[in-house]
Every structure is written in C-alpha cells, then in structure tokens.
Amino acid sequence: MKGLLFISWALCALALAPSAWAQTSWRPQKNVEIIVGTSPGGGQDRSARAVHRLIESNHLIEVASTVVNKPGAGSALGYAYLNQHVGDPHYIMLSTTPLITNPITGLQRITYEDLTPLAMLFDEYIVASVAAGSPIKGGKELLARLKADPGSLTIGIPGVGGGGHLGFALAAKAAGIDPKRLKTVVFKSGGDSITALLGGHIDVMSSTTAAPVPQHRAGKVRIVAIGSPTRLPGDLASVPTWREQGANAQFANWRGMVGPRGLTVPQIAYWENVFAAVVETSEFKQDLERNHWSANFAKSAEMRKRLKEEHDELKALLTELGMAK
C-alpha cells in the first residue's frame, strides 16, 4: 500500500512539474518595446535610452529591444498605447511623476492602478535656487519672507503641476504658507528659468538639478534647499535639505518602469531581475553621479506602495491648489 501511495504521489508530482515551472519562469520570446511618452531628446527619452543602452550592452535580455516614442497629452498617449497590450510583458514603459499627477488634474484617464509597476530606478530631487547676489542666504530665510508675504517674491517654475511647482508648493505648505498665494512665473523649461534668474527677472527658481548645478558650481547661483531626505554628495554636499531648515517636505521626479495591466508574477519577477541588474552596472552608477540622481531601486510591490502614498499626498496638494478635477 505504501508503495502504491508513493507511486501515486510521484506521478502527481511529475504531472504538476510543468505547471509549477510555468508559474516560476518566463522569458521574452519576441522584440521588447520600451515606450516613452515624450518626443526624442527630452529628459524622459534620455533616461529610457540610457536604460535601453545598458540592457543591450550588458546582454540582460535574450531578444532584441527598441525604444518607441509615443508623445502627446502629457504621456497619456504612451500609457494608452501600453495598455493596448494587456497581459503582454514585451511592452514596458518609462514612467515619471506625471503618472500620478495627470489623472488627478484630468489630463489622462489611465492611473497607476491600471498598470503593472515593475521597478523604481532613481530619484531626481527638486532644488530651490537664487542668484549669487540675492539677499536670501538660505531656505529658512526664504520661507520666512514668504510666510510674512507670500506674494513678495517671484518664483520661476518649469510648468504648472510639474516637479518644480509641486516640490516648492510642498515646502511652502509645510512651513505654514498658503501655496495658492505664491507668485509663480511659468517657463517652458529649467533652462529658461535659469536665464531669467541670472537676468534678475525672477527672485527664486524651483527645478531639478540639471539647470542650476553648473551655475551653482560657477558661483553664479546659490542653491538654498533640496527636497531630499538627506544631503546629496558632490556639488550638492553643502546644500541643506528643506527638513534641516524647518520644512518637513520631500519631493523628487522619480524614474521607474511599468508594464500593462494583467502581468503575471513570473513576468513581473523577470523584469525586476533585469532592472536590478541594470542599477548594479558601473555605467548606471556613473550616470547617477554625473546627473546628481539618487539611487532608489525598488521592486514591484514596494513601487506600488510608494505610488499609492505619493498619489494621496499629491491629490491633497493639487486639491488645495485648485488643480484637482
């Protein structure tokens, strides 16, 4: 009887083995598309192509891959294209903060809950800058002046509802300042903002690090605060965080990868492993240092948790700013 039971168990195990293997292993079988929701040459496109280059040069996947640009409607067209391929892990997309903010402001219907988070890659923190000749010496003094009179300073931002806008609004709100009363001046890019700052046309600039750091290094601009949890190394080592200066605020334009809805656990695990390998390459680490980005790798479940937390925080802020739909 024991022999028969053993044989029956063994036969069952053999019968289940292919199914069990299928549940724990997946590999791409055709060309992989890495989708970008903006035109070639922008920040998102450069990030996606850098990731693509590392995947290709380090032979991290077994099939060919291409970068496909689907610009328009604040990346909404890219997300719509991605979700045309429900359950197909051969289509993945570089994602950024607008995945959270665009649905809140009514710019797109697809939310983070309609997609499959795969991996968070890095953070690009928001900084506040003034011209070298400005009487404002630090972030604490900047917030004190705005608390006394929120409209007393002009603040340049590269786009309404973007990282520069939201990062500064969060710091102001944390300091007890009504962000709706801030006197913001909207520019098309960080480059335009820095030109206006250097020309004396605005008092403060809020942006990612790309535009102000070279001028900070040259002594023409003073970066007075950064929205990171701790100080960053290199050129930004002397820049205190908002938290150090009394405003419990943190904000970054993150970069992550998402897939269409309906991906399986093995398919998610495959891409988690690929991106875990990407962030460990020396080239990726050099890119982080060169661009003043912060490593922030997270797998699917942790990324989903962060997206939920950020959604709740930014929905409250955008509602307060009168921008939520």
Which tens digits make up the pLDDT trace of 169-187? 999 999 999 999 999 998 8
Q: Is 74 or 310 the better-scoring residue by pLDDT?
A: 310
274 assigned to some structural domain: yes
Q: What is the pLDDT of residue 198?
A: 96
The pLDDT tens digits of the residues spanning 243-252 come to: 999 999 999 9
Lowest mean pLDDT among 8-12, 51-55, 197-201: 8-12
CATH number reported for the structural domain that contains residue 228 in this entry = 3.40.190.10
Helix axes 282-291, 43-57, angle to 10 degrees: 160
**pLDDT average, residue stretch 289-305:** 95
Whole-angstrom CA distances from 233 to 45, 59, 116, 192, 292 are 26, 31, 33, 26, 8
Q: Per-residue pLDDT averaged across 204-219, rounded? A: 93
What pLDDT is recorded for position 11? 41
Q: Report pLDDT for 9.
A: 40
Q: Is residue 8 one of the residues assigned to a domain?
A: no
Percent of the chain with pLDDT over 70: 93
Tell me, yes or no, whether 240 and 158 share the same domain: yes
Distance in angstroms (rounded) separating the CA atoms of residues 124 and 281: 19
106 with 149, same domain: the answer is no
pLDDT at 21: 31
Whether 22 is in a domain gets the answer: no
> Could you tell me if residue 160 is inside a domain?
yes
- pLDDT greater than 80 at residue 14: no
> Looking at the structure, do residues 211 and 310 belong to the same domain, yes or no?
no
> Do 78 and 149 fall into the same domain?
no
CATH (domain of 46)? 3.40.190.150
Residue 3, domain member (yes or no): no
Token look-up 């001028």 returns 215
Q: Give the mean pLDDT of 123-138.
A: 96
Confidence of residue 20 (pLDDT cuts 50, 70, 90): very low
Average pLDDT, the chain: 90
CA 230/CA 247 separation, integer angstroms: 13
Global pTM reads: 0.82
Question: Do 273 and 305 belong together in one domain?
Answer: yes
Last residue of a domain, one of 182, 212, 245: 245
Structure confidence at residue 249 (pLDDT): 95
Residues 76 and 95 placed together within one structural domain of the fold:
yes
Residues 65 and 116 in one domain: yes
Q: Are residues 294 and 194 in the same domain?
A: no
| Structure-block tokens of residue 121 | 């890659």
154 inside domain: yes
What average pLDDT does range 5-24 have in this prediction?
39
CA angle 308, 313, 315 (to 5 degrees): 90
Q: pLDDT for 63-91, tens place per residue?
A: 999 999 999 887 889 999 999 999 999 99
Residue 14 within any structural domain of the chain: no
| Identity of the amino acid at 243 | R
Which of 245, 250, 251 minimizes the C-alpha distance to 146? 245
How high is the pLDDT of residue 41?
A: 78
Beta bridge partners of 65: 32
For the chain, the domain total comes to: 2
- Mind giving me the DSSP string for 248-287? ----EEEEEEEEETT--HHHHHHHHHHHHHHHTSHHHHHH
pLDDT band at 59 (very low <50, low <70, confident <90, very high): very high
Which residue among 245, 276, 296 closes a domain? 245
pLDDT digits (tens, 9 = 90+) for 258-280: 999 999 999 999 999 999 999 99
Last residue of a domain, one of 227, 245, 263: 245
Query: Which pLDDT belongs to residue 159?
Result: 78
Q: Do 49 and 142 belong to one domain?
A: no
43 with 66, same domain? yes
What are the backbone dihedrals phi and psi of residue 119, each rounded to the nearest 5 degrees, phi first?
A: -165, 140
Are residue 263 and residue 312 in the same domain, yes or no?
yes
Determine the structural domain holding residue 226 and report its residue range: 127-245
Name, of 4-8, 224-228, 289-293, the range with top average pLDDT.
224-228
Do you know the residue count of the chain?
325
Q: How far is CA 276 from its chain centroid?
A: 17
Residue 111 shares a structural domain with residue 76: yes
**Residue 325 within any structural domain of the chain:** no
Give me the pLDDT at residue 188, please. Answer: 79
Average pLDDT of the segment spanning 289-298: 92
